[in-house]
Copies of this chain bind each other. A is one copy, B any other.
Amino acid sequence: MKGLSAKQQRIIDFVRGFILDNGYPPTVRDIQSGCGFSSTSVVDYHLKVLAREGYIRRHPEVSRGIELLTRPSASSLVPVPIIGSIAAGEPIPVPTPDSWDIAAGAEILEVSADLTRGREGVYALRVKGWSMVDALINDGDLVLMQYVNVVENGEMAAVWLKAEKEVTLKKVYLESGRIRLQPANRQMRPIYTEPDNIEIQGRVIAVIRRLV
């Protein structure tokens, strides 16, 4: 999923508003006049792009067959357990089987479902201290994590550095046999280390900072 052009975003927004207003999706010609296009084929062109990029689903040969994949009806609240805190110099807590037991007394953070997007094994950690400022993460922030042991190139992960005995949140890149750990803050420099010096403790899904 890459970024949308202005017109494509406009179409998405128009469709959402149209459905909210009328209870049914617009036709190609509704979008045409609503967004100021001069031809139905232009709309069709953009809809094809949006479908290919995964923003909508089109039902061929079906009138008004446009389905928003970020449907408000699918949106609900998901309870995420806050299983502990994350601080410099100590490994992050690992979810145990009863972490997912909502009734087990753990603090619960309720987030919009489109943050977790249906992922399994999502938990939250409270950040203690200012050791993560290079990841643009502040004291008191809540970090939404997913319990995985391997991440794709470029994803932000909680990485345990064995030699340094500390945990850090960085984007992970595998580059010709060594690991590059890139801070989210572009002004900071990456650090390099050996693959067997790191241990992926989870993938960072989101950061929530509540100020007031």
Q: Interface of A with B (CB < 8 Å)?
A: 9-10, 12-14, 16-17, 20-25, 27, 57, 59, 62-68, 71-73, 75-77, 79, 102-108, 110-112, 114-115, 117, 130, 133, 136-138, 146, 155-156, 184-187, 203-212
A/B interface sample: 6 pairs, CB < 8 A: A9-B107, A12-B107, A25-B64, A75-B76, A206-B208, A207-B209
**Cα separation A133 to B188 with both chains bound (whole Å):** 11
Chain B proximity of A202: nearest CB distance (Å): 11
- List of B residues within 8 angstroms of A136 by Cβ: 133, 136-138, 209
Whether A24 and B205, one on each chain, are in contact in the complex, defined by CB atoms closer than 8 angstroms, is: no
- List of B residues within 8 angstroms of A66 by Cβ: 23-24
- List of B residues within 8 angstroms of A111 by Cβ: 112
Q: How many copies does the complex hold?
A: 2
Whether A23 and B103, one on each chain, are in contact in the complex, defined by CB atoms closer than 8 angstroms, is: no
Whether A105 and B155, one on each chain, are in contact in the complex, defined by CB atoms closer than 8 angstroms, is: no
Q: Which of B77, B114, B117 contacts A75 (CB 8 A)?
A: B77
Whether A110 and B72, one on each chain, are in contact in the complex, defined by CB atoms closer than 8 angstroms, is: yes
Q: Which of B13, B77, B110, B114 contacts A105 (CB 8 A)?
A: B13
**Cα separation A62 to B64 with both chains bound (whole Å):** 10
Whether B72 and A73, one on each chain, are in contact in the complex, defined by CB atoms closer than 8 angstroms, is: yes
Whether B108 and A114, one on each chain, are in contact in the complex, defined by CB atoms closer than 8 angstroms, is: no
- List of B residues within 8 angstroms of A72 by Cβ: 73, 79, 108, 110
- List of B residues within 8 angstroms of A103 by Cβ: 17, 20-21
A17-B106, A146-B212 known; 15 other A-B pairs, CB under 8 Å?
A: A13-B107, A20-B102, A23-B71, A63-B64, A72-B110, A76-B110, A115-B210, A130-B186, A133-B185, A136-B137, A156-B211, A206-B209, A207-B208, A207-B211, A208-B209
